[in-house]
Structure 1
């Protein structure tokens, strides 16, 4: 079945379903491109910053600033650019940076959620409208005659919109779950990286401020 035949036989619900499919496809492509850039460089950035933080704190800030276009680099760059902050301020900067970057990573989720919810409903609506149109064209006297052949074909065609709605929703669900898995993994990495960097900073702080009280 060609696209023209699909549109012709799918009924009025095909048009919004086509719009949702294009919207979902665009979001999926954009998110794949985003996550590919994030995951490829992430380990290199993390190791570079942590290794530098252990030996040369100023160098760690330079490396993080160099990678501030990457979510992880920008997250770690936020506290590293502070000038000798109190450990509590350093911790707050880490939390703020993590919240900002993790929120930006969920861009596109609402679009896919909307497509997943609406596509099956629009498909079902198209099928119901098709059934109403097909069954409304027959009378009791036509039952059991050749006149009902067209009605049978009409019912079959009306199911096209439901099938398309389910296909769009299923594909969207698959990629939505994949992006969610990537995001949850980033939460784990951000927490681990933030905790390690904070431990290093607190050790430096207490070495340079030996008379300060311990801050938990």
Structure 2
């Protein structure tokens, strides 16, 4: 049985099943291409950014900026491009970037979900229509005679649409679960790298505040010492005038 005969015997339900299968294949191919680029050396990029952040935040920002063609690069660059941001704004930028990138990773999920839900139902509909057509031409007097052989053949052919619908749904479900696993792993990577980057930035921010406080204390001390000397000089001049 070739493809043309398969569609002819499967009934009218084979046409929407063909449309769903084309949508499913196109979505799967696009998502496989997307993930093949996303998963390439992303952990190495995260380690490089976090390692540079220990010593030079400007260099860490530059590394993330050069990797903006990948989701993890855009995620890390979003807070790093905010110069002298306070820790709360830094965290907000991380969370906003993570939500946006994870949403982009879920593109195509709705199409696969629709195919998974509709394909078996369309297959069953084709089977029911085939059974109605096969049994509609059968009368009570034909039972037990050779006339029922054609009905049996028609019932077998009507099950083709059900099998096709199940095949399309099962294949779509397998890739859907695979892509969901990729998204779940990306969410864990974003959470881990984001937490480490935020922790190091908070440490940097506290060290910066401590340095500013020390510089302020030195300036206040110098100012007080200068004022004391000026006051002593004025007192000396007053005593000399007397």
TM-score bracket relative to the smaller structure: over 0.9
Match of residue 114 from structure 1: 114
2:80 counterpart of 1:80: yes
TM-score (norm 1): 0.96
**SS of residue in 2 equivalent to 1:195:** helix
Correspondence for 2:170: 170
Residue matched to 2:191 = 191
- 1:36 aligned partner: 36
Distance 1:84 1:37 in 2: 32
User: Deviations for 1:132-191, whole angstroms, at most 9, x for unmatched residues?
Assistant: 000001111111111111111000000000000000000011111111111111111000
SS of equivalent residue, structure 1 residue 144:
coil
- The list of structure 1 runs, each at least 4 consecutive aligned residues, that deviate by more than 6 angstroms after superposition, is none
Aligned to 1:61: 61
After superposition, the C-alpha distances for 1:22-42 in whole angstroms (9 at most, x for unaligned) are 100111111111111111121
State the distance in 2 between where 1:14 and 1:92 align.
Answer: 50
Distance 1:194 1:108 in 2: 26
Alpha-carbon separation, structure 1, partners of 2:173 and 2:121: 15
Q: Deviations over 1:77-118 (max 9, x none)?
A: 100000110100001000001010011100011100000000
Number of aligned positions between the proteins: 212
Q: TM-score, normalised by structure 2?
A: 0.86
- Structure 2 counterpart SS, 1:146: coil
Gaps of at least 5 residues in structure 1 are: none
Paired position in structure 2 for 1:144: 144
TM-superposed CA distance for 1:17, in Å, is 0.3
- C-alpha distance in 1 between matches for 2:49 and 2:77: 9
Which structure is larger by alpha-carbon Rg, 1 or 2? 2
Counterparts of residues 83-98 of structure 1 (less than 5 Å): 83-98=83-98
Q: Distance in 1 between matches of 2:6 and 2:61?
A: 57
Give secondary structure in 2 for the equivalent of 1:209: helix
SS at match of 2:25: helix
SS in 1 for 2:68: coil
Output the CA distance in 1 between the equivalents of 2:45 and 2:4.
Answer: 49
> Are residues 1:160 and 2:160 paired?
yes
Determine helix, strand or coil for the equivalent of 2:39: helix
Q: Secondary structure at the match of 2:144?
A: coil
1:28 is paired with a residue whose SS is helix
